Amino acid sequence: MITYDPRYMKWDQWGALMAELFAPNQLGTLPEDKWVDWAAGMNGIGYFMESGVPDPRGFKNWQDWAAALCGIISITPQAQP
């Protein structure tokens, strides 16, 4: 599974890219103040549950959670051969 590196991105940009990347899972997008709900929704999808998506409630902000997500489930698109 791949994901986008959240560094230097705003929530709207990163969320839109993730929603597009995982469109078959119908993640959609939410406003930044609802990022925990969005992340929890992602965590509830079977494919992501099996990947060890971190529980967002343990993070202070979406950037920290997204960075942990990248470390768990990704090869960033920029790093692909």
pLDDT at 79: 38
What are the structural domain ranges in the chain?
11-79
Q: Is-contact 18 33, C-beta < 8 A?
A: no
Tell me the CA distances in angstroms from 3 to 21, 56, 71, one per residue in order: 8, 16, 10
- Residue spans of the chain under pLDDT 50: 75-81
The stretches of the chain forming alpha helices (DSSP H) are: 11-21, 35-43, 46-49, 62-73
pTM over 0.85, yes/no: no
